[in-house]
Amino acid sequence: MSRDRDHASERTIELRHLRCFLAIAEEGGVTRAAARLHLTQPAVSRTLAALEAALGVRLVDRSTHHLALTPEGRAFREKAAVAVTAFEDALAAARTVRRPLRLGHAWSAAGDFTTPLLRRWRQTHPDVPLELLRIDDRTAGLTRGAVDVALLRGPVDAPGLVTELLHRETRVAALPSDSPLARHTALTLADLRDQVIALNTVSGTTSLDLWPTGARPTVTLPVANTDDWLAAIAADQAVGVTSTATVRMHPHPGVAYVPLTDAPPLPVRLARREGPGHPSAPALIALAHEVAGES
């Protein structure tokens, strides 16, 4: 009988299993996850193994040189993150001091509205700290529970999200500062057709579909984040297309920004997950609309 009880306890999934798995997924390895959780590496490995045994699936591929999540692991990561966030929200609702409200973005935050929004929030909600987090993925960490609200640009097609339009930004060309094109006061998309186009394939919104058929560039340079995108342009390896928010949030001595007259504006949306979330999320969304509407 005791053996059956021990076996049943090994199959019980607890919050610590989810936290451990999420730490491994976010840190990209057991060693860093152990340091983050203040546990030993063997303890983290055992916890992961117990979670996989309870679920009956392999979550982490251990056959590769670098730790990688299996397809089942990637799917479970989103569910685990939502579960942990829901647990934290339940506790926060019962506490005098709430946990920080996390606002995610992949790049450029809210552009010109960023500083006014952060300042106004601190003035009107001093009891709820607001954390601005840059996370390089298409939903800025929202689908995996890393943030409570996200500022997202371009199309948003991830399931389980509720979005609303905040405003629209005009687009600009990003060019090496010594490029002949940088001397123009305005450009068209066709002016860039013979250039190498830097494309942020992780969190960016520009694709070759932005250009009219028959006038599309043929060579691209994939990058993984805004920093690499800026570095490639400054080094005269490529040019890029972005929004006016980048001009304000990412000035660079080696990059010049020139307005594009025929590129469609870029929508900026506020997004949150469906269902219960951080209790202060609605207030942040309302304040963002208020700040944007004052411009």
**pLDDT, average across residues 20-33:** 85
Between 61-65, 116-120, 273-277, the lowest mean confidence (pLDDT) is in: 61-65
Q: Provide the residue type at 77 as one letter.
A: R
Between 94-98, 204-208, 216-220, the lowest mean confidence (pLDDT) is in: 94-98
For the chain, the average pLDDT equals 88
pLDDT band at 4 (very low <50, low <70, confident <90, very high): very low
Q: What percent of the chain has pLDDT over 70?
A: 91
The whole-number pLDDT of residue 94 equals 59
The whole-number pLDDT of residue 2 equals 38
| pLDDT of 73 strictly over 70 | yes
Q: What is the pLDDT of residues 243-286, one digit of tens each?
A: 999 998 999 999 999 999 999 999 999 999 888 789 899 999 99
Q: What is the pLDDT of residues 151-174, one digit of tens each?
A: 999 988 888 899 999 999 999 999
Between 63-67, 200-204, 272-276, 289-293, the lowest mean confidence (pLDDT) is in: 63-67
What residue ranges define each of the domains in the chain, with the CATH number in brackets?
2-79 (1.10.10.10), 100-167+267-293 (3.40.190.10), 171-264 (3.40.190.10)
| pLDDT of 74 strictly over 90 | no
Encode the chain in three state secondary structure. Answer: CHHHHHHHHHCCCCHHHHHHHHHHHHHCCHHHHHHHHCCCHHHHHHHHHHHHHHHCCCCEECCCCCCEECHHHHHHHHHHHHHHHHHHHHHHHHCCCCCCEEEEECCCCCHHHHHHHHHHHHHHCCCCCEEEEECCCCCCCCCCCCCCEEEEECCCCCCCEEEEEEEEECEEEEEECCCHHHHCCCECHHHHCCCCEEEECCCCCCCHHHCCCCCCCCCEEEECCHHHHHHHHHCCCCEEEEEHHHHHHCCCCCEEEEEECCCCCEEEEEEEECCCCCCCHHHHHHHHHHHHHCC
**pLDDT, average across residues 51-76:** 85
| pLDDT of 144 strictly over 90 | no
For tokens 């045994």, name the residue: 53
The whole-number pLDDT of residue 271 equals 96
More confident residue, 11 or 205: 205
| pLDDT of 209 strictly over 90 | yes
